[in-house]
Amino acid sequence: DGGITQSPKYLFRKEGQNVTLSCEQNLNHDAMYWYRQDPGQGLRLIYYSQIVNDFQKGDIAEGYSVSREKKESFPLTVTSAQKNPTAFYLCASSLRDGSNSPLHFGNGTRLTVT
Amino acid sequence: GESVGLHLPTLSVQEGDNSIINCAYSNSASDYFIWYKQESGKGPQFIIDIRSNMDKRQGQRVTVLLNKTVKHLSLQIAATQPGDSAVYFCAELMDTGRRALTFGSGTRLQVQP
Q: What is the DSSP letter of A86?
A: -
pLDDT at residue number B11: 95
Give A1-43 pLDDT, tens digit per residue: 569 999 999 999 999 999 999 999 999 999 999 999 998 778 9
pLDDT in tens, A47-96: 999 999 999 999 999 999 999 999 999 999 999 999 999 999 999 999 87
Contacts of A98 in chain B (CB under 8 A): 32, 93, 99-101
pLDDT above 90 covers a percentage of chain A that reads 84
pLDDT for A97 equals 57
Closest A-chain CA to B108 = A40
User: What does the alpha-carbon distance between residue A92 and residue B46 come to, in Å, rounded to a whole number?
Assistant: 11
Q: How far lies A99's CA from each of A33, A87, A92, B48, in Å? A: 14, 28, 14, 15
State whether B100 and A90 contact (CB < 8 Å).
Answer: no
| Subunit contact A43:B93, Cβ cutoff 8 A | no
B100 pLDDT band, cuts 50/70/90, is confident
Nearest-by-CA chain B residue for A34: B100
How many CB pairs lie under 8 A apart between chains A and B?
78
Q: Measured between CB atoms, does A76 come within 8 Å of chain B? A: no
Q: In the prediction, which pLDDT does A95 show? A: 86
The model's pLDDT over B17-69, given as tens digits with 9 standing for 90+, comes to: 999 999 999 888 888 999 999 999 899 999 999 999 999 999 999 999 999 99
- What letter does residue B14 receive in the DSSP assignment? E
Smallest Cβ–Cβ distance between A33 and the set B3, B100, B104 belongs to B100
**Interchain contact B83–A (C-beta under 8 A):** no
Q: Are A26 and A94 in contact (CB under 8 A)?
A: no
Q: Exposed, middle or buried by CB within 10 Å (0-12, 13-18, 19+), for B112?
A: exposed
The β-bridge partners of A37 are A43, A88
